[in-house]
Amino acid sequence: MTLLVTIAFGVLFFACILASIALHELGHMVPAKRFGVRVPKFFVGFGPTAWSVVRGETEYGFKWIPLGGYVRLMGMYPPSGPRTRLARLAELAEGARAAEWAEVLPSDVADERLFYQKRTWQKLIVMAGGPLMNVLIAFLLFWAVIGIHGYAQPQPIVGRVQECIIREDRANAACTPADPKSPAYLAGLATGDRVVSFNGVAIGSYEQLVDLIRANLDRPATLVVDRGTQRLTLPTVNTVIDGVPDKLDPSRRIPAGWLGITPAVVLAHGGPDEVVRQMWTMSVQSAVALVQFPVKVFNVVADLVTGKPRDVYGPMSIVGATVAAGEIAANEDLSVGDRAALFGSLLASLNLFLAVFNFIPLPPLDGGHIAGALYEAARRQVARWRGRPDPGPVDTAKMLPVAYAVAGFLILSGLALIVADIISPIRIF
């Protein structure tokens, strides 16, 4: 029964991913059509066509490889100008331009229905529409989870005191007589204590307390706590320097001050402001992870070859995310509400990551087209300032060799992660 539930909800999650992809492409198509761009194709998936239907001038359908999607906008590449050395070396780009222009109708040019003919602000809206749709999906899902179910909010209240200092590289987590006592234990902190101040600084949140402890390194620390009806000033102790997870890259441990407490956690509810705050933090973390993406993919492959367990903070493919969603739904140790919240949060996180990913300023990603439109606008503005004629649209076809290289890397990385997720999946529970 558990296996059937895992499979069923895994399939449901995969269907939700495909729906997110379709909505992403819809975010491109709707403004494109609104601005008059001819849109001949709208597909979810790649490869041979599984099913399609023509409505108006657009063919809608599904491809057999459900690992993405695309909307085709006519006129992405302007007409070829004078052949330069770069153009002669970029025969693939010229071939792609020729293939597109073989389908351009005279009416497309006359009626300005080609993408390159549109104004900069229109291009920006069209290309940003896809990832912004993913941001909207993530916002609505997170809002539902945070507003209805709630989110785990650590409190400046001691939930547990770690008795001793155990270094991160030790397999045995139990304290031994030889282990030094933790600063929290030496200070006399007890479960249920509410931390009122740290070195004279009033504490308003657990996050603030963590920042103060980390910045304190191995210097003296004096805590004031509320214990029941009493307010106590605890003995001064020195925090210790230990390896703690980096806030922006949890897979990396950094030296920082450490006290030795685990906070009490409550289920809090929040509105749009809390959703935006959490989404911003996750977006920054995603950006940091994307900078390290090539290295992380290499590490996944290396761990797979050497038989090491997967890093829980490492990248995973759509297959891995689908399996994780199925495992969440089938985990009977969680309540139905907790499972629904985790399922929705995972889908929201994936949409937010896709949005950040697509804003990378490299073709063929949306960010590459956005960067091209901004460069085109800047070039025209400089020409106006200098009293020179309009230099015309940027020849984006010249960037196709870069697009092919990026696409090739993403395909190889995706295949590597899919294999890793099948052979050595990340274990959430």
pTM, two decimals, is: 0.89
Give yes or no for residue 86 having a pLDDT over 60. Answer: no
Q: Where does the pLDDT of residue 172 fall: very low under 50, low under 70, confident under 90, or very high at 90 and above?
A: low
What mean pLDDT do residues 171-199 have? 88
Give the pLDDT confidence of 63-84 residue by residue, as tens digits.
Answer: 998 888 999 999 998 887 655 5
Residue 247 is encoded by which pair of tokens?
A: 């806030």
Residue type, 208: Q
pLDDT of res. 209: 95
What mean pLDDT do residues 123-131 have? 96
What mean pLDDT do residues 161-173 have? 73
pLDDT of res. 427: 74
Percentage above 90 pLDDT, the chain: 59
Give the pLDDT confidence of 268-278 residue by residue, as tens digits.
Answer: 999 999 999 99
Active site residues: 25
Give the pLDDT confidence of 329-344 residue by residue, as tens digits.
Answer: 888 888 888 889 999 9
Give yes or no for residue 138 having a pLDDT over 80. Answer: yes
Give the pLDDT confidence of 408-427 residue by residue, as tens digits.
Answer: 999 999 899 998 888 888 77
Residue type, 137: I
What mean pLDDT do residues 122-143 have? 96
Determine whether 158 is exposed, middle or buried from the number of CB atoms within 10 Å of its CB (0-12, 13-18, 19+). buried
Q: How far is CA 12 from the centre of its chain?
A: 21
pLDDT of res. 330: 81
Q: CA-to-CA distance for 359 and 344, rounded, in angstroms? A: 23
pLDDT of res. 336: 87
pLDDT of res. 85: 52
Give the pLDDT confidence of 307-364 residue by residue, as tens digits.
Answer: 888 888 888 888 888 888 888 888 888 888 888 999 999 999 999 999 999 999 999 9
Residue type, 289: A
Question: Mean pLDDT, the chain, as a whole number?
Answer: 89
- Check: CB of residue 74 under 8 Å from CB of residue 104: yes
pLDDT of res. 101: 86
What mean pLDDT do residues 89-113 have? 82
Q: Which residue has the higher pLDDT, 305 or 366?
A: 366
What domains lie within the chain, and their CATH numbers? 1-34+114-150+269-429 (no CATH), 152-268 (2.30.42.10)
Give the pLDDT confidence of 226-269 residue by residue, as tens digits.
Answer: 999 999 999 999 999 988 888 888 888 889 999 999 999 999 99
Q: What is the DSSP string of 238-254?
A: E-EEEEEE-SS-TTSEE
pLDDT of res. 87: 46
Give yes or no for residue 169 having a pLDDT over 70. Answer: no
What mean pLDDT do residues 370-381 have? 92
Q: Where does the pLDDT of residue 88 fall: very low under 50, low under 70, confident under 90, or very high at 90 and above?
A: low
What mean pLDDT do residues 21-26 have? 96
Residue 292 is encoded by which pair of tokens?
A: 């390290």
Give the pLDDT confidence of 42-65 residue by residue, as tens digits.
Answer: 999 999 999 999 999 999 999 998
pLDDT of res. 23: 96
Q: Parallel, antiparallel, or unpaired for β 230-233 and 223-227?
A: antiparallel
Diameter of the chain measured on Cα atoms:
85
